[in-house]
Amino acid sequence: MAKKNKIISTPEVKPNTNSKSIGFFEFYVRSFVILLFFIVLLWVVVFRNYFDLAEADALSKRMQAGQILSPEESKQLKDVQIFLSSSDYKWFYNYKWVYHNLIVKNLKIQDQLDSLDYDGRQAYKNGHEFNYLKMIRDKTPENAVILMPDQEDLKIPEYAGNNVPQFSLINDKAWAYYFLYPRKLVYDKSDALDSLGGQKNIRKDPDFKKNRASVTHVAIVYGNGYNKLNYKADSLEAYTVLPINKK
């Protein structure tokens, strides 16, 4: 022990107080008592009585919509209502949420999605907007200059109905650039206009004309964008990317 102490520089712990010797067996009995205290503390604060409130909310909405819940679901809903009025919920719910939701539930989701590659996982998070950009990425060379859809191109056409995906993020230049880099992106309206939505257009690009002249591909959304091609396309797809000039 003396040898070990030599390399202890300044262990700044307070000096011993009430020092008395404790035997091996007695130590473990006492240690076990304190261990038990922490187990109970963690059980009450973190592990016990967790309800996924999002699930309960969904059940409640189903019931309000007139759907009949199974006996287990009804019991679950009742338990949740009791829990919500308890002090356990008031004081400790967030600790339970970290463990059960942020950690355990996430691990389960990761386990289920383990076979997905990074593109698949990105699509899981950012959905069709990422899939659309991935399609552009896969169909264009890295040196492509792509004419992207403007805000007005992203309005869902009246004939399309409710089942078409809604886009918004692909109009955020930096967001789209992240997935398409090193390809260059050009937006006809938002890169060129002096004002947007009644405000000064902070995204106006002083080099718009030069960039517009160097466009190599046009991105099509909802069939919008074919009029920007320098030729008549053979087939009209709703979502695609095409060279601006016929090869």
Partner 1 sequence: MLWISILLTILLGFSTLTIISNQFSYLEKWGASFLVGIALQVFGMILFQFLGIKITISSIYIYSFSIIVLEWIYFLLTKNSFKKAFLPYNPFLIVNPKQVNLPWFLLVTLIIYVLWAITEKSLFWPTFEFDAVAGYDLVAKVLAEEGTFKNSLFMSNGISMYNMSLRAVYPPLVSGSFAYAYMSGAELSKIISSLYYISFVALLYALLRRASLTHLASAFGILLVLFIPEMTSHAALSQTNMPQAVYTSTGLLSLYLWLRNTDKNERYLWLSLLLLASNTMARSENILFAFLAGLAVLIVTLIQRTKKQWIHLVIYGTTLLIPFVLWMLFLKINHLKPAALGEGLSLSLAYDANKFNDWWGLLWGYKDYPEGIVMNKNFYALVPHLFFITLLISLVYALVKWVSAKEKDLKPIQNLSFLLYISLGPFILYTVFYYFIKYDWDSIRNVMLFSYKRGLFGIMTLFVCFIMISEPAQWIFSQFNIFMFGKRNN
91 binds partner 1 (CB under 8 A): yes
4 binds partner 1 (CB under 8 A): yes
Cα 152 to Cα 183, 189, 222, distances in angstroms: 23, 9, 11
Q: By C-beta, is 1 or 65 nearer to partner 1?
A: 1
83 binds partner 1 (CB under 8 A): no
SS3 string, 187-229, reads ECCCCCCCEECCEECCCCCCCHHHHHHCCCEEEEECCECHHHC
Smallest distance, partner 1 to C-beta of residue 74, A? 28
Q: By C-beta, is 8 or 213 nearer to partner 1?
A: 8
Contact track, partner 1, 103-122, x by CB under 8 A: x--xx--x-------x--xx
Smallest distance, partner 1 to C-beta of residue 226, A? 25
Q: Check if the beta carbon of residue 20 is closer than 8 Å to that of residue 40.
A: no
Smallest distance, partner 1 to C-beta of residue 46, A? 7
Cα(59)–Cα(70) distance, rounded to whole angstroms? 10
Cα 208 to Cα 132, 172, 190, 211, 229, distances in angstroms: 24, 16, 10, 5, 18
Can you read off the two tokens belonging to residue 200?
A: 């000064």
Q: By C-beta, is 28 or 231 nearer to partner 1?
A: 28
Cα(151)–Cα(179) distance, rounded to whole angstroms? 19
Residue 109, helix vs strand vs coil: helix
Binding residues for partner 1, per CB under 8 A?
4, 7-22, 24, 27-28, 30-35, 37-39, 42, 46, 91, 93-95, 97-99, 102-103, 106-107, 110, 118, 121-122, 125-126, 169, 172-175, 177-179, 181-182, 184, 190, 199-200, 202-203, 205-207
